[in-house]
């Protein structure tokens, strides 16, 4: 919702209470919209690169001139190299509009690197395991969790606004938070356990956690018996990966690995 003054100038932006994605509370980018709108350096016209007195700079242009220039360059490339030589690397929902443009232009050289590197492995693994995709925003229940483990995640910096609100509520409800992050992030500052792991060694920590849970007989046996396949093979595989082994890779002390693994145990989901 946008509020204006008597001169029709934007003075305040707030979220819609009925929006399930924000619950009436916007992220900093949203609340900062007023400052962006009034910023004297905000671009208000297209700029075209030019050279003045031997120095490269930009000049203001009309939308018609700018779009004609872009269209002419697209046309020249297509005539010389073919439409497929123009590539689109997109991200997020707005990318679908540009994808439509590129396909109309004749190019299917389209990719979404962030999706390929992040979302696709997650969605594929989840789909093969549970038969459905996760989607976005993810259907998490962070608000009611008793133990939240953040590994490979920067919640509060790259998560949805609603999930950040849920994490805040979980903290108020006394949830135990374990954050695995080389940096002392905002989430780490709110955590009971902060594991300042050496970058790119997350798998070693996960293997060691599994070792502790299995070797100390702390896992949910009824759940494993009902749903798991290949558990004996997993047990044999993780047996060498002790906390002492992981310490030499992750730089996390063995006692911290054992303590955090044991912390998760009381919060296992029971059948």
**For 44-48, 129-133, 167-171, which range has the lowest pLDDT when averaged over its residues?**
129-133
Q: Is the pLDDT of residue 108 over 80?
A: yes
Domain of residue 20, residue span: 2-38
How confident is residue 34, by pLDDT bands cut at 50, 70 and 90? Answer: confident
Asked if the structure places residue 67 within a domain, the reply is: no
Q: Token match 């439409």: residue?
A: 83
One domain, residues 206 and 245: yes
Same domain, 260 and 191: yes
Reported as a pLDDT band with limits 50, 70 and 90, residue 74 is very high
Residue 56 maps to a domain? no
Our CA dihedral for 49, 37, 67, 80, rounded to 10 degrees, sits at: 60
pTM of the model: 0.69
3-class SS at 143?
coil
Q: Does 157 share its domain with 205?
A: yes
- Examine residue 120 and state whether it is found in any structural domain, yes or no: yes
Specify the length of the chain in residues: 271
Query: What pLDDT is recorded for position 100?
Result: 94
Q: Which residue has the tokens 């509370």?
A: 25
232 with 157, same domain: the answer is yes
Same domain, yes or no, for 109 and 13? no
Same domain assignment for residues 107 and 151 = no
Q: Is the dihedral of CA 192, 198, 201, 205 positive or negative?
A: negative
């Amino acid at each position: 919702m946008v509020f204006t003054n008597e001169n029709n100038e934007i003075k305040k932006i707030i979220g819609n209470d009925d929006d399930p994605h924000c619950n009436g509370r916007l992220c900093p980018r949203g609340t900062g919209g007023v400052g962006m709108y009034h910023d004297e350096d905000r671009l208000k016209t297209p700029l075209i690169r030019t050279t003045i007195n031997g120095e490269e700079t930009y000049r203001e242009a009309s939308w018609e001139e700018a779009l004609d220039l872009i269209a002419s360059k697209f046309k020249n490339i297509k005539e010389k190299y073919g439409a497929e030589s123009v590539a689109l690397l997109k991200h997020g929902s707005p990318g679908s509009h540009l994808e439509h443009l590129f396909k109309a232009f004749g190019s299917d050289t389209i990719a979404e690197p962030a999706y390929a590197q992040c979302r696709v492995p997650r969605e594929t693994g989840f789909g093969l395991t549970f038969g459905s995709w996760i989607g976005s925003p993810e259907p998490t229940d962070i608000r009611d969790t008793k133990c939240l483990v953040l590994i490979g995640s920067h919640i509060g910096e790259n998560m949805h606004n609603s999930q950040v609100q849920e994490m805040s509520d979980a903290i108020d409800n006394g949830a135990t938070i374990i954050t695995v992050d080389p940096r002392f992030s905002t989430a780490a500052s709110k955590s009971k356990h902060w594991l300042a792991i050496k970058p790119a060694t997350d798998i070693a920590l996960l293997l060691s956690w599994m070792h502790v849970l299995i070797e100390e007989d702390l896992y949910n046996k009824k759940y494993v018996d009902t749903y798991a396949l290949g558990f004996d093979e997993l047990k044999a595989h993780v047996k060498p990966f002790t906390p002492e082994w992981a310490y030499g890779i992750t730089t996390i002390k063995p006692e911290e690995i054992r303590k955090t693994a044991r912390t998760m145990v009381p919060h296992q989901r029971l059948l």
